[in-house]
Amino acid sequence: MNYLLTAPAAADIDEILDYIAAQSIQNAVLVARRFEKAFEQLAALPSLGHPRKELDDPAVRIYSVSGYLILYDPTLQPLHILRVVRGARDLKRVRSRS
């Protein structure tokens, strides 16, 4: 594994998967696998994501998976997954680093 999940990102993922699992365990497993695959892809190719001006940190990049946004820092080794939030969330209100 060439990435690190921060505590806020791990909490985000737990909350997302619990919410999905309440409707469908199979869908929660599918989304978990998609997240893991995306984290591995980002670790291998950190340039996949893009910056967003509404973020509080210019180093942070975003990558979209299954309607969720992965916020990560490609400048750190290993790559740090900072947050995972719903795509509809107002990014101005998201603190990428705690």
Q: Is the dihedral of CA 51, 57, 62, 67 positive or negative?
A: negative
**For residue 73, what pLDDT is reported?**
93
Residue 38 domain-assigned (yes or no)? yes
Q: In the predicted model, what is the mean pLDDT of the chain?
A: 90
Question: What was the pLDDT predicted at 87?
Answer: 76
Residue 27 lies in a domain: yes
95 found inside a domain: no
Whole-number Å distance between alpha carbons of 2 and 47 = 15
Judge whether 82 lies within some domain.
Answer: yes
Q: 47: which 2 tokens?
A: 């340039």
* Assigned domain for 98 exists: no
- Domain span at residue 17 reads 3-88
Q: Residue 9: is its pLDDT beyond 90? A: yes
* Domain annotation covers residue 25: yes
Confidence band, pLDDT 50/70/90 cuts, at residue 54: confident
The pLDDT score that the predictor gives to residue 1 is 65
The domain that holds 47 is classified in CATH as 3.30.2310.20
For residue 23, the model assigns a pLDDT of 97
Tokens in use for 83? 């947050």
What does R_g of the chain's alpha carbons equal in angstroms?
13
* Number of independent structural domains in the chain: 1
**Does a structural domain hold residue 19?**
yes
Query: What is the tens place of the pLDDT at every residue in 58-98?
Result: 889 999 999 999 999 999 999 999 999 987 666 667 666 66
**Beta bridge partners of residue 83, listed in sequence order:** 71
Question: How far apart (Å, rounded) are the C-alpha atoms in residues 44 and 38?
Answer: 10
